[in-house]
């Protein structure tokens, strides 16, 4: 279901970037922030769980979790190039029948998807101007837990993002990066019945695990 968001994302996250990320993953494994997401999901002690990976990129989260915690995954992404790279790796690992791929803006199709035990958003919130709509949709699809990585809400992150957005603007690229208020995201998820049970921080990123009461 291609959309304007998909066009912008395809332009920003194209084939060359996806292939480079897949090559790095095969050589070095998941990135540090992704490792924190994996640790958070595994801390739940789930077996044969379902996973909804929003904006999953090359699919590193479910590539790893299909070996121990997850039996089936759905990957929704606005980038067709990343979906193709993720599908290639899924097939290479012999998991083709265990992953569903959906090309769309997640907020446009969320209500058509089956709920999942766990929803993951690895550096996705920072790509959405309307984090409320994104997180509400993600929360509605989560039966048990939600894990997300996002920029820390501090002066360093805001300065870095401001510079990035300035370069995007002068190059006439419509894509933007956002540092959303963590307190507001936390309050929204609380209102949706999800409560933060762990928080891990890196220099720029932090990873929060939310569970249903």
Per-residue pLDDT of 77-131, as tens digits, reads 999 999 999 999 999 999 999 999 999 999 999 999 999 999 999 999 998 989 9
pLDDT for residue 55 is more than 80: yes
Confidence band of 134 (pLDDT split at 50, 70, 90): very high
Region of poorest pLDDT, from 44-48, 80-84, 158-162: 158-162
Which pLDDT score is estimated for 6?
42
Query: Exposed, middle or buried, 140 (CB in 10 Å: 0-12/13-18/19+)?
Result: middle
Which pLDDT score is estimated for 168?
80
Could you tell me if 151 and 131 are in contact, meaning their C-beta atoms sit under 8 angstroms apart?
A: no
Compute the C-alpha angle 131/16/24, nearest 5°.
Answer: 85
Write down the mean pLDDT value for the chain: 91
Could you tell me if 34 and 149 are in contact, meaning their C-beta atoms sit under 8 angstroms apart?
A: yes
Across the chain, the runs of DSSP E, i.e. the strands, are 49-54, 70-77, 99-103, 116-122, 142-151, 194-201, 205-212
Q: Report which secondary-structure segment, H or E, holds 107.
A: helix 106-109
Q: What is the mean pLDDT of residues 158-171?
A: 80
Confidence band of 177 (pLDDT split at 50, 70, 90): confident
pTM of the model: 0.89
Q: What is the mean pLDDT of residues 173-198?
A: 92
Other CB atoms closer than 10 Å to residue 5's CB: what's the count? 17
Higher pLDDT, 213 or 30: 30
Which pLDDT score is estimated for 171?
81
| Kind of pairing between the strands at 205-212 and 194-201 | antiparallel
Confidence band of 196 (pLDDT split at 50, 70, 90): very high
CA distance linking residue 197 with residue 183, whole number of Å: 15
Confidence band of 2 (pLDDT split at 50, 70, 90): very low
Confidence band of 13 (pLDDT split at 50, 70, 90): low
Could you tell me if 61 and 51 are in contact, meaning their C-beta atoms sit under 8 angstroms apart?
A: yes
Nearest-CA neighbor of 145 among 6, 51, 59, 28?
A: 51
Higher pLDDT, 153 or 27: 27
First to last CA, the chain: 34
CA distance linking residue 99 with residue 87, whole number of Å: 8
Which pLDDT score is estimated for 162?
76
């Amino acid at each position: 279901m291609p959309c304007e968001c998909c066009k912008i994302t395809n332009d920003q996250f194209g084939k060359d970037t996806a292939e480079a990320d897949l090559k790095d993953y095969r050589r070095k494994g998941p990135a540090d922030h992704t490792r924190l997401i994996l640790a958070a999901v595994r801390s739940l002690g789930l077996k044969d769980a379902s996973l909804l990976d929003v904006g999953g990129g090359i699919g590193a989260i479910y590539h790893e979790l299909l070996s121990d915690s997850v039996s089936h995954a759905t990957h929704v992404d606005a980038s067709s190039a990343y979906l193709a790279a993720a599908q290639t790796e899924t097939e290479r690992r012999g998991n083709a029948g265990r992953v569903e791929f959906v090309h769309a803006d997640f907020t446009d199709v969320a209500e058509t998807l089956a709920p999942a035990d766990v929803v993951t958003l690895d550096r996705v919130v920072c790509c959405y101007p309307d984090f409320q709509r994104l997180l509400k949709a993600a929360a509605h699809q989560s039966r048990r837990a939600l894990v997300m990585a996002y920029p820390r809400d501090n002066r360093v992150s805001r300065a870095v993002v401001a510079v990035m957005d300035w370069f995007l603007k002068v190059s006439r690229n419509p894509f933007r990066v956002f540092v959303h208020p963590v307190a507001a995201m936390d309050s929204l998820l609380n209102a949706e019945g999800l409560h933060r049970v762990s928080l891990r921080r890196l220099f720029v990123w932090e990873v929060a695990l939310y569970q249903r009461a």
